[in-house]
Structure 1
Amino acid sequence: MNPYEIKELSPTGVLAEMGVEQGDLLLSINGRSVVDELDIRFLGGEEEILVEIQKPDGEIWELEIEKESDEPLGLHCDGGTLGIRRCRNNCVFCFIDQMPPGMRDTLYIKDDDERLSFLQGNYVTLTNLSEALKRRIVDYHIMPINISIHTTDPELRCKMLGNRFAGSILEDLAFFSEHHIQMNGQIVMCPGYNDGEALKKTLEDVMAFYPWLQSLSVVPVGLSSYREGLPALYPVDAQKAAETLDIIREAQDKMLAQYGVRFVFPSDEFFLLAGQDLPGEDYYGDFSQLENGVGMMTDFKAGLRDALAGRTPKSKGSHRFGIITGVLAKGFMEACAGAIEKVYPGADIGVLPIKNNHFGPSITVSGLVTGGDIVAQIPKENEIETYFIPENMVRYGTEDFLDDMTLGALSQALGAEVAIVPVRGDALAEAVAQRLIGG
């Protein structure tokens, strides 16, 4: 493994004050080789540390440092010296394999990196995790680890992941449980593979790892129109969604009786596909699987309700809004728009569901809507003054859609303001209020 090169460091940080400079190599901390950012974060957290640095001329410095435990070393090392651990699987449901051609290169990168699980919340299959890396997770007490389980049947998991080494998930869960490492799990449910009895068996198996396996989500497989040459898969329909909800409720009843928690949760899509009402807030506990679309609508509705509670109807003039969303959330967002209009009579809010022509009509979630589809489906000749889009429609930290259209380009194409709004009910209410009455 190549030494870690220091690309940036704070001029007021501990290392800079001791003469460390950009371009130096970080060899070790307390005698342990530095592999990546996790080593820096955890080894550098001690109050007394010995840092080994190699200067460009080959000179080795050993720096004895005393500091507060929460005081950073003041450096940023180039993660590119290690790179992302790429996925070695060939999953039958992989959405990256279903991406249309011509998109930016980074969208085709498949990672399966336990470091990103800790740092960014990504889910990992553990199939490329060596014993040394497993031990490092335990040594550093890195948690929670988010794990893509999918099924506990060894043969079926190898088939679904396209990897003959993927069958040891139960052993992996047992290892981390025995070492008290907290985990969250995910199942991408594919009809004909890990549904029905296979799902029942998986839930029965993983419940045994509670409380170290803290929660489990079940989400339906997403299928684009670009599946040529890929295994035949079928979308979750209303009947399959209802059947799956019954299986999950049965498992929840067992966990409630034994531990007082539901533990396993279906994503919101299952309720919508089955035509069933979304549960209330108490159902989701601490909303630990929110990022997987579990309880997102219930949380949104509760935030909107609280934001509007106690406000008397008022307006300063009128304003026409358009909420851009995916097809799946149309009815839900129309109900939210109606609630806002009751408090702000001057608000005229239309909901604009966008059919996903970019990935295919079976993709109905808002997070995969592209700028090009929005422009193609919303006529410029209308009286809408402000459009709202959820922040999951653009790449994190940017104003770029998946097709690289920018927020500014979309605003120009629509001839109106386009505003990014956090996926929270209170944020939507506030965005309306700011434009209608100044907050």
Structure 2
Amino acid sequence: MSLGKILRVAKDSIAYELGLKSGDSIVSVNGQKLKDIIDMSFAFAEEDIDLLIQHSDGTQEMYSFSKDYDDELGVEFEAAVFDGIRSCANHCYFCFVDQVPPNMRDSLHIKDDDYRLSFLYGNFITMTNMGKADFDRIRKYHLSPLYVSVHTMNMELRKQMLRTPLAGNLIAQLESLEKADIEYHTQIVLCPGLNDGDDLDNTIQKLLERRPYLQSLAIVPVGLTRFRTDCYPLQLFDKEGARKVVAQVKKWQDKNREETGETLIYLSDEFYLLAGEDIPPAEYYDGFPQLDNGIGLTRNFIDEWTEAEKEIMPAAFDKTVKLLVVSGKAIEPIFEKLIKRINIPQLDVHILAVENQYYGTSVDVSGLLTGVDIKNAVCAIKEKADFDGVIIPSSAVRAGDDILLDDMTVSELEKQISIPVKSALGGRDLYKMLTNWCIETKSEEREKLYTWQSNAGYTKLKEEENE
């Protein structure tokens, strides 16, 4: 039986007044069994509610009450889907989850391919596990936009890359979404010698023909770790290859901006950093529709830092403070340029670009740094004891838990290197932390709680201070 297990109850909410508690589960609303918070949203939109609850001891209790149409129950669920995440059965040449090191936390090994998580969280789906009932439900609830992994519009090549004949149904599936007036964002994992070059041009052209339903196209380079065991030979982009991709895609970007005023096609930051090219200005990202996919994170970071320079007053340091900023290899040149702009007497800032030994040295992004690699890199510095603090990227830390990818906590890291450790989220946060270290500062990052609203809008709400 699918149950929506409650993780947290908001104060002064309907759930709070009913006496619901963490560990209680929702069995049904007005007799309707619930698959996920999407069902919950629409079922709870009625004014007269019969809410069947199963308590943690297994007993069930019915709550009957009336409410306004837009009143919320006021709970956070343990999971957005109550009947289990729909997993991916494909074995794509480039799958990064298949390359995750063994013995890491279970969540890192989940290969989700669930259209509900695509709508709710922006997770990319291949649609290879979807049938008519799924598309009917998408139409019924108008779950738009979705996020679709395309990779290529050559259906034979797509079947080859995803290793399933079902991958060849993509065009018909996109047409089904369009008939239901569903918009979609798309993604290409670009693999040298497979879907780049002429095939990339063909894919871009065919996707552009699907406007206005096509909302954006992100192009990200294939990533390979030392744990990859797939027999299909894949290569990484080198500097020259990245430059060719940047130049090729720029022609499409310029054409789109001239015709529509929007870029629409975006390259991930890795391409620009690898190619040694300037990061495009913010206007090229059209409001950053795929920021969570690594599209424009660097530009966003730079602009946040620049705004912080104008708005945040640096503190006065009454003694020398030496700080160490940890980053991945890819972003190091950007950090160097920004930190050189800080000119505060008695503040000494150093950058430590950590080589990723855990995943493999070809993985150079900050968000995949592990505690053990950070610890080893810091301990290898001869003058380690001279540092007053270490700042690590929040992207490497699980939100709300202070746990790094290898399950080392920030507190454990701090003990092992014997230096205070803080994590910074974004350019503004890092600038504030560096320039006001002598004052008690906390990261501006706060745990984001996901609360489904009955008006079919999924919002990320910041946790209240006292909750």
1:109 corresponds to: 110
**Partner in structure 1 of residue 408 of structure 2:** 405
Say whether the 8 Å CA contact 2:4–2:34 is kept in structure 1.
Answer: no
The DSSP-based 3-state class of the residue aligned with 1:350 is: strand
Task: Give 1:3-42 correspondences, 5 Å limit.
Answer: 3-4=2-3, 10=9, 14=14, 26-29=27-30, 32-42=32-42
Residue 351 of structure 1: how far off its partner (Å) = 0.6
Q: Percent identity among equivalent residues? A: 33
Number of positions where the alignment pairs a residue of Structure 1 with one of Structure 2: 432
Match of 1:222 in 2: 223
1:74-104: per-residue Cα shift (whole Å, max 9, x none)? Answer: 4566657511111111111111211222222
Q: Is the 8 A contact 1:6 1:26 kept in 2?
A: no
Q: Does 1:148 align with 2:176?
A: no
Contact conserved, 2:330 with 2:365, CA < 8 A, in 1? yes
Which of 400, 417, 429 is matched with 1:427 structurally?
A: 429
Distance apart, 1:189 and its partner CA: 0.6
Deviation string for 1:251-278 (max 9, x for gaps)?
A: 2233223322110010111112112111
User: Which residue is 2:448 aligned to?
Assistant: none
List per-residue Cα deviations over 1:103-142 (Å, max 9, x = no partner). Answer: 2233222111122223322211111122222222222222
Q: Which shifted more, 4-13 or 262-271?
A: 4-13
> Which one-letter code corresponds to 1:402 in the other structure?
L
Residues 356 and 364 of structure 1 are in contact (CA less than 8 Å); yes or no, is this contact kept in structure 2?
Answer: yes
State how far apart, in whole Å, the 2-side matches of 1:321 and 1:279 are.
Answer: 30
The equivalences for 1:233-312 within 5 A come to 233-309=234-310
Q: Which moved more, 1:305-314 or 1:215-224?
A: 305-314
| Paired amino acid for 1:352 | L
Matches of 2:326 and 2:20, distance apart in 1: 50
What amino acid is the match of 1:122? N
Counterpart in the other structure of 2:364: 364
Partner residue, 1:316:
317
Could you tell me which of 330, 333, 336 is aligned with 1:331?
333
Q: Distance in 2 between matches of 1:59 and 1:297?
A: 50
Tell me the SS of whatever aligns to 1:217: strand
Residue in structure 1 matched with residue 459 of structure 2 by the alignment: none
**Cα distance change of structure 1 residues 34 and 81 upon mapping to structure 2, 3 Å threshold:** closer
Q: Structure 1: any 5+ residue segments left out of the alignment? A: none
Correspondence 1:134 to 2:156: no
Cα deviation, residue 416, structure 1: 0.9
Q: When the two structures are superposed, what TM-score results if normalisation uses the length of structure 1?
A: 0.89
In 2, the alpha carbon distance for the partners of 1:438 and 1:74 equals 34
Q: What is the alpha-carbon distance in structure 2 between the residues aligned to residue 8 and residue 189 of structure 1?
A: 39
Q: Structure 2 CA distance, aligned partners of 1:389 and 1:74?
A: 34
When structure 1 is superposed on structure 2, of 169-178 and 297-306 the one drifting more is 169-178
- For residue 321 of structure 1, report the CA deviation from its aligned partner: 1.0
Matched residue of 2:127: which SS? coil
**What is the rounded CA distance, in whole Å, between the counterparts of 2:102 and 2:33 in structure 1?**
41
Going from structure 1 to structure 2, the CA distance change for 1:26 and 1:279 (only over 3 Å counts) comes to: same
How far apart, in 1, do the equivalents of 2:338 and 2:78 lie? Answer: 45
| CA contact 2:2–2:83 (8 Å) conserved in 1 | no
AA in 2 matched with 1:167: G
The answer to whether structure 1 residue 73 and structure 2 residue 73 are counterparts is: yes
For residues 350 and 105 of structure 1, do their structure 2 counterparts lie closer, same or farther at Cα, with a shift above 3 Å needed?
Answer: same
Contact 1:49 1:66 in 2 (8 A): yes
Letter in 2 for 1:336: L
TM-score, length basis structure 2: 0.84
Maintained 8 Å contact 1:326/1:366: yes
